[in-house]
Every structure is written in C-alpha cells, then in structure tokens.
Structure 1
Amino acid sequence: MGKRIEPAWPRGAAPLDEFTARMLEVGDGLYRELPWRHVDDPYAVLVSEIMLQQTQVARVGRFWERFLAAFPTLDALAAAAVPDVLELWQGLGYNRRALALKRTADECAVAGEGRLPGSYEGLLALPGIGPATAAGVMAFAYQKPAVYVETNVRAVFLHELFPGREGVPDRELEPAVAAAAFHPSAAADPRRWYYGLLDYGAHLKATGVNPTRRSASYSRQSAFEGSRRQKRAWIVRRVLAAPEGVEAAVVARELSAAEVAAGREAVGADLFESIAGDLVGEGFFRREGALLVP
C-alpha cells in the first residue's frame, strides 16, 4: 500500500476554492505542448515520467519518441535484450532508470497481463516506480486524482503557500497538494490540473525564481564530469560497444587513460572494481572470467 496522505489546507492561505480556480487559469495561460501529453497509453506515460526524472524536458522528447518506436508496448520491452534497451537510453543519464523500466516490463509480462496496473498501489509495487511516478501515471494516463509531488509542482506550492519559509518539508506540502488535487475543480480534469502546475513551476524557474531551493529535500546536483556517475556511464558505453565482451583490464586501462587525458587523476584498481562490481550487480552487464559481457 502507498502512504496515505490526509488532505489538509494550510492556515492563513488563500481559500482552497480561490487557489484552485486561480491555478487553473494561470496554468492554462502557460500551457506547453509536449509529445507525451494527452496520451492515454499508461506505458507511454510511464516511459515519459521515468525519462523526466532528473532530466530536462527539452532533452526528453526525441528519446521518448525513439524509445517507443523501438519498444512500443510493455511486451515488446520485456522481449528486448538489456543491451538494446541501454543503447537507446544512452545520452539521458541515470541508466539504472532504464533497467528498472525493463524489470517492470518483465514483471508485467510474467504476470501475463502485458499492461500496467490500474491502481496507485499496484504501480508502486513495480521496480523503480516511486510515489511521484505512480501518481503521475494515475493522473496523466488514467485521469484520476493523485498526490503528485514533482519538482515543479513543489515549486508552485512553496511559492504560493509558503512564501519566505526555508526548509519546508514535503510532509507539510503533501497534505496541501492532496487537498487541491481532490478539490472538485481539479479532480474533474487531473491532466489539466497538473499540466498547469508543471508549466507554472517551469515558468517560475525560467524567470529567475526557484522556490524549490526552500524545500527541505532540495540538494544541488553534484558536477557530472569526474564523478563516479561519469565513470559508470563511460564503462557502460564501453562494454555495450563490445557485443562479444571486452576484458575488464582493458576497460580499466582505457578509462584511466581517458581520465588522465581529461586532466583528472588515473582510476585506481580498487575504484574500477567497485564501480564494475556495482554495474554487474545492477544487471548492466555480466562477468565471464576476465570479460565484461553485455
């Protein structure tokens, strides 16, 4: 079961009726046409929600369309080889999202359904689907009210209901998001409601206001270049480029040389083995003796 959130409206805030009416009006005026909007296929919506995690909207469009062209259904994704799935994900980053999506497809295929569950709790039970992703599928694919606390939604509620407050925890935001989402004017069209909040939140950030910095859950993303994430991505790309496998020692030498060429420290054996071991454990590729094999 998902966490139950009791709707509650903050004291001193504008009346809920007034707030929802104003947010709908503001959102309609800022509406962005995006390829995954007004899509009824829950799988296509899920792919968009997972791709949009920690990735800018402008980068997702071509990846989403290309991924769905290759794997148009959950069953098609379940039948695909992991290297093929990862290959189409290259460039989006956070490749473990692709593996989680593949595992979701595998579970749905094993269950014999070939489709996603129609409930929040059922979605939440699948690999890599957290509360926000499950709520996004419920709202955007199934047109059902849900408590969708995504970064732009968070920005709007912080800006509108908690002005000047620092370190606002989601446990204070979520009851207000729930109260608004289940208000009759928002619940009548969950897509319109959340599209509007997403677009308003994006507008706030684009105009130099970023209320999410006042969230207790806010953390500035660390630099990618030179990070462990960057080394993980490099190793994945290198192994995927060798369908028959490549010696781990060769990958280690090439990665270390690439780091030195970029003006960074060489990669020690312990660090390489730690990263490669994580990637094997997560299912990105496997070890066969001295080889790393996609």
Structure 2
Amino acid sequence: MRVRNSNYWKGESSFDDCAVELQHVACVLGDGVLVLRDINLQVRRGEILCVMGVSGSGKSTLLKIIAGLLQPSSGIVRVLGVDITKISEAELNELRKRIGVVFQAGALFDSLTVADNVSFGLREHFDLTEEEIQERVRVLLDAVGLEGTEHLLPAQLSGGMRKRVGIARALAMQPELVLYDEPTSGLDPVIANVINELIVRLRDRFGVTSIVVTHDLQSTFRIADRAAMLYDGCILVCDVPERLSEYSHPVVQQFLQGNPEGPLTEQIDQLV
C-alpha cells in the first residue's frame, strides 16, 4: 500500500488549499429529476479524490458540473479559485484550459492518429511550433507508456491503450486539475492497475489534482487520498478509504461488503 500524503486530514481546509469547492449544490435535470441535492465538498490541491456510487447516484453529473459542462440548479461551484456559476462562457473556456477531462470511452477522434489526438488541444489553443508540439506529444506518450505509437489510429489500440491516450491528451495543456470518468471500467486487472499507478504517478510527479469517478473499490483503496460516496444525489461519507468501514450507514456497508440485499439493491431495482 502506498503512503498517502499526510496533508489529507478529515476536516475543513483553507480556501487556498482547495482546487474544487462545492457549497450546497443541487441539480435538477430537464425532466424534473433531482439528481444532486445539497452537495458540500472540498477537494484539496494535489489530492486524489475518488467518488464512488452505483449507476444513477449522480457521479457523472457531479463531474460535468465541476468541468463546467453542466450548470447546477443552485449552489456555489469554485474550481481553481473561480466561481464558475458567475463567469461568462469566454471566461469558462479560459478556465477549461487548466482542466483535463478523461472520458470513460476515451472519446478519441477515430480519423486522427494518436499524436494528432494528443496534440489537438495544443493546436487549438496555443501558439507553439511544430517541433514544440511534437516534443510535448513525445514526452506525454512516454509518460503513459505509449512511446512509439504516434502514428497509430484509435482502431489499432487496445482498450487500455485508448484510455492512456485519453490521459495523455488530458495532460497536454498541463492542467492543474484532471477529472476521470470510470478510468478502469471494462479493463482487466493488470491494465486497470497500470492506469491506477499512472494517476498516482502524475500526482506525485506534477502535483496534479485528480477527481476519479468510479465504482471500483479496489482502485479506490489503491489510489485515493480520500473517497466520497454518493447515494441518491447526496454525499454520505468523505474520508480516507481505511476509515470507510467505520461508518454504520447501511448503504456504505452494503457497498463495501458487496451484499446482494440492502438499500442499494432496492435503488437499482427502481432504475431497471
């Protein structure tokens, strides 16, 4: 087990320490469904926070709100010191340059090579020479263990390789915050651990703050400084993984133990 950063204690942190801060955030979708309710959360700079929960618990919606892709119905959302509920679209676009997003399915451009996928944001937003772009792509692919793949197309890559290309692309603009949507979903245990170790290495090497949406307990215990659990649009617990078992809430206990009966199963039955 890796040694966690000793700064990640349970409790309040100063404003300067926060990469992300949500205060009383709620989200109602167009069909009137309340997806998130009264979310209060702080993510510290340089922290790896895993957000767990079953399908339909609001994890992806929370990630979209932090990324500025979805407006909350109420509440305050501060990302890298900026309240994104009170800025213009142009200002939000500038802020997004400091945020990387790794989508669950990779979201690579099928017709572009690995190199062109990774460099897409660089070409769109930065005035760099071709040599500078190629060098940054080379460094990024080396960092994710994909050196020599610049010429390949996404169809020629395995699922794990596509995930790592997505991570390299998310890091291309040197973001301070990276958001991961189920980065190990659908991967075998070996490749899943490769992805997990990469997330940790990026934090340790570059000081990147990471928010990882996942339902993978093994990954959470492997990489998280803290873990938050969402249920029915609410955060039930946010603590270091080793202390989660101390919480007596039946949803937390069922999720940790994998019991087939309990409130989580009842929620899933309502969704299908």
If the TM-score is normalised by the length of the shorter chain, which range does it land in?
Answer: under 0.3
Return the TM-score normalized by structure 2: 0.25
Structure with the largest fraction of helix: 1
Structure with the largest fraction of strand: 2
Using CA pairs below 8 Å that are at least 6 residues apart, which structure has the higher relative contact order?
2
Larger Rg computed on CA atoms:
1
Return the TM-score normalized by structure 1: 0.24
